Chains A and B, each alone.
Chain A
């Protein structure tokens, strides 16, 4: 038994190292002075750590505006998707109706949508509806990109909440809505948060749509635009890009750690229990 354990732990450590290395390298590079980044023998950690790249990144034009926009658009899209998806998920998980099967299949199929190819039609639609330079349009697109997956996932979380709980509340004289709000919703909270993380990451990352839907009103651009701005005619400023990438990943990581602590590993396993 003993050698097996050792082998297992060594293997786990190897997986851990391989998985974390690229992320670690991003952090480490962000703190290295430019001369060290270009050194022929890369050091595993910064010999002379510096914050200059972070200063460059934060000091770039419009950082705070983009930050605010990203948060607003991402937040709005995720919230909207959660609410809309919850309604659908409830209908699918708790009710019987004609067309339920096809609806589920359509939701699944909607994940195949070739979003990159919809860029031009979407641009034309936005232009004709005078919705260019509009954060609402952008929010709508991100909402739709995340909606199908949100429905699929939430439906599973909802199905995992035993119906008996709801029934008990109904017997106690709650209305259907009150039963939902007081009983199901708290049980569903981890699922809602886990699902929202997916939407958050997707919308937070998006570059192609914001690039063509926000044209003249530069103050409406989002953070991915900023992340790609450390490149000019002379080349990419790696240090600043890595620092920016670190800052860019930070909100997602913080959100994840927050959710992780709050709901623990049960967040994931809870959903799968059938």
Chain B
């Protein structure tokens, strides 16, 4: 899922009221008609239960078992209670990974949102030709498959023949001759941030730009007439109006960056020295490199819990909003 993004998760809009269907309080006994919504969501619910909830439950069960390669092949996993969780929570490494994952998510999301906002504002002010060109390029990047993009980055940052080192050396930064980007924890982390930000900006920028175009021009003008500077206009007018959109895009980016896996695994396998081991990478290493599927499932369960806690405010606000609408 860390894969790619779509255009336009749109802003919330109040559901329209159809005349003649007056009292629409929940629980209103109006016969079979009330069944319709439930019939409509039934396929989605069925799919979710069968293909998501059920596997999740199986993963939860595995996290309470001794389930390694032998058990996967032969069957006959034994329950061992909370042992996996105990082992995990006792390990210093786990907490280091959690902290790193938060840092990873924070850095990326701040950069993505900052750059995307700047690009979106820029798009708004550009002439038509330049705007179309920039939007097309964003679309191009957005549509480039993750596997392909990751492969390209590996090649760009190659130490002896990579074009990045060649460019830096040509510009006179001689210390980059043969510089090993993948050998140093911080440099590796940086390369991955560049990759993920590069891949994520198009979605966020295009969506925010779309949001910006919906703000009536008169609002800006009156703000300017009132003597507002560019920054003031943004903080006083633009941002408040688009706050829900910002919130939605930000939380989507948090989820995506937090769960980002293939990019990291392909480029660094979590190294060097675990400098790029985030929770999904950690879970993968444990589960499929060491074949400890039990411990890996425990990591995944905790990941979901952590993510849910991190976003609980957002979820509650959503629930409140939806409730207020009906």
Residues of chain A touching chain B, judged by Cβ–Cβ distance below 8 Å, are 8-9, 11-13, 15-16, 19-20, 22-23, 25-26, 29, 37-42, 83-85, 87-88, 90-122, 124-125, 140-141, 143-145, 147, 149, 151-153, 156-157, 159-160, 162-164, 166-167, 191, 194-195, 197-198, 201-202, 204-207, 224, 227-228, 238, 241-242, 245-246, 248-249, 252-253, 255-257, 260, 265, 267-269, 271-274
- SS class of chain B's interface: helix, strand, loop or mixed? helix
With A94-B15, A109-B315, A274-B13 as known contacts, state yes or no: A252 contacts B143, CB within 8 Å. Answer: yes
Q: Whole-angstrom distance from the CB of B295 to the nearest CB of chain A? A: 11
Q: Whole-angstrom distance from the CB of B309 to the nearest CB of chain A? A: 11
Do A15 and B134 touch across chains, with their CB atoms under 8 A apart? yes
What are 29 contact pairs spanning A and B, CB under 8 A?
A: A12-B126, A13-B130, A19-B201, A22-B198, A39-B161, A42-B161, A83-B43, A97-B38, A104-B319, A104-B322, A108-B315, A112-B255, A117-B300, A120-B296, A121-B56, A147-B48, A153-B10, A156-B10, A163-B16, A202-B3, A204-B145, A205-B147, A206-B3, A224-B147, A249-B144, A256-B143, A268-B7, A268-B209, A269-B214
Docked complex Cα distance between A244 and B97 (Å): 35
User: Which residues of A have CB within 8 Å of B40?
Assistant: 87-88, 90-91, 95
Among the listed stretches B85-93, B103-111, B152-160, B219-227, which one makes contact with chain A, having 4 or more residues with CB under 8 Å of it? B152-160
Do A272 and B211 touch across chains, with their CB atoms under 8 A apart? yes
Partner of B308, one of A109, A191, A274: A109
Docked complex Cα distance between A66 and B134 (Å): 34
Docked complex Cα distance between A37 and B322 (Å): 55
Q: Whole-angstrom distance from the CB of B202 to the nearest CB of chain A? A: 8
User: Which residues of B have CB within 8 Å of A156?
Assistant: 8-13
Q: Which 7 A-B residue pairings sit nearest by Cβ, starting from the closest?
A: A156-B10, A163-B16, A117-B300, A198-B6, A245-B148, A121-B58, A101-B322
Residue of B nearest to A227 (CB): B147
Do A271 and B161 touch across chains, with their CB atoms under 8 A apart? no
| Interface residue? B289 (CB, 8 A) | no
User: Which residues of B have CB within 8 Å of A207?
Assistant: 147, 262
Residue of A nearest to B206 (CB): A268
The contact string, 1 if C-beta is below 8 Å from chain A, for chain B 173-204, is 00000000000000000000000001001100
User: Which residues of B have CB within 8 Å of A98?
Assistant: 26-27
Do B151 and A245 touch across chains, with their CB atoms under 8 A apart? yes
Docked complex Cα distance between A274 and B262 (Å): 36
Do A97 and B37 touch across chains, with their CB atoms under 8 A apart? yes
Residue of B nearest to A8 (CB): B125
Partner of B47, one of A111, A144, A256: A144
| Interface residue? B96 (CB, 8 A) | no
The contact string, 1 if C-beta is below 8 Å from chain A, for chain B 292-326, is 01001101100110011001000100110011001
User: Which residues of A have CB within 8 Å of B198?
Assistant: 19, 22
Docked complex Cα distance between A153 and B207 (Å): 12
Docked complex Cα distance between A106 and B297 (Å): 21
User: Which residues of B have CB within 8 Å of A202?
Assistant: 1, 3-4
Partner of B122, one of A12, A42, A101, A228: A12
Q: Whole-angstrom distance from the CB of B15 to the nearest CB of chain A? A: 6
The contact string, 1 if C-beta is below 8 Å from chain A, for chain B 54-74, is 111011001000000000100
Do B152 and A22 touch across chains, with their CB atoms under 8 A apart? yes
| Interface residue? B139 (CB, 8 A) | yes
User: Which residues of B have CB within 8 Å of A91?
Assistant: 36-38, 40-41
User: Which residues of A have CB within 8 Å of B139?
Assistant: 256-257, 260
Number of interface residues of B (CB under 8 A): 110
User: Which residues of B have CB within 8 Å of A191?
Assistant: 8
Task: List 19 additional A-B contacts (Cβ < 8 Å) besides A26-B144, A105-B322, A156-B9.
Answer: A13-B130, A22-B144, A22-B153, A26-B148, A37-B161, A83-B43, A92-B41, A97-B38, A98-B27, A108-B318, A111-B1, A111-B255, A112-B307, A117-B303, A124-B58, A147-B48, A206-B3, A249-B143, A269-B210
Do A140 and B51 touch across chains, with their CB atoms under 8 A apart? yes
User: Which residues of B have CB within 8 Å of A163?
Assistant: 15-18
Do A15 and B122 touch across chains, with their CB atoms under 8 A apart? yes
User: Which residues of B have CB within 8 Å of A107?
Assistant: 44
Residue of B nearest to A104 (CB): B322
Q: Whole-angstrom distance from the CB of A273 to the nearest CB of chain B? A: 5
| Interface residue? B246 (CB, 8 A) | no
User: Which residues of B have CB within 8 Å of A97?
Assistant: 26, 34, 37-38
Docked complex Cα distance between A38 and B161 (Å): 7
Do B207 and A268 touch across chains, with their CB atoms under 8 A apart? yes
Do B148 and A248 touch across chains, with their CB atoms under 8 A apart? yes
Q: Whole-angstrom distance from the CB of B305 to the nearest CB of chain A? A: 10
Docked complex Cα distance between A55 and B5 (Å): 31
Q: Whole-angstrom distance from the CB of B256 to the nearest CB of chain A? A: 9
With A42-B166, A84-B47 as known contacts, state yes or no: A117 contacts B283, CB within 8 Å. Answer: yes
Do A248 and B147 touch across chains, with their CB atoms under 8 A apart? yes
